[in-house]
Structure 1
Amino acid sequence: MTSPSATSRPATEFDDSPDVATLYHLLTRITRTLRTRGGNGNLTAGVAAALWTIINHAPIRLSALADRESVSAPTMSRIVASLEENGYIERTTDPDDGRAKLLSPTPAGVELITNARTNKARLLAEALDGLDDDDRSTVGRGLTILAEALGTNDQLQGLR
Structure 2
Amino acid sequence: MNSNNWIFAIVAFAFVIQSGAALRCWTCTSDRSPECGDPMNITEHHKDFHTRDCEAAANPNSYGYNEKSICKKLVQRENGRLVVRRSCEIPGPEERDITNGPCASHDTTHSHVTVVSCHICNTNLCNSATSMSGSKLFFLSSIIFVASRFMPALRSFSV
Could you tell me the TM-score, scaled by structure 1's length?
0.25
Choose between structure 1 and 2: higher strand proportion. 2
- Which structure is richer in relative contact order (CA contacts within 8 A, separation 6 or more)? 2
Choose between structure 1 and 2: higher helix proportion. 1
Could you tell me the TM-score, scaled by structure 2's length?
0.25
Higher CA-based Rg: 2
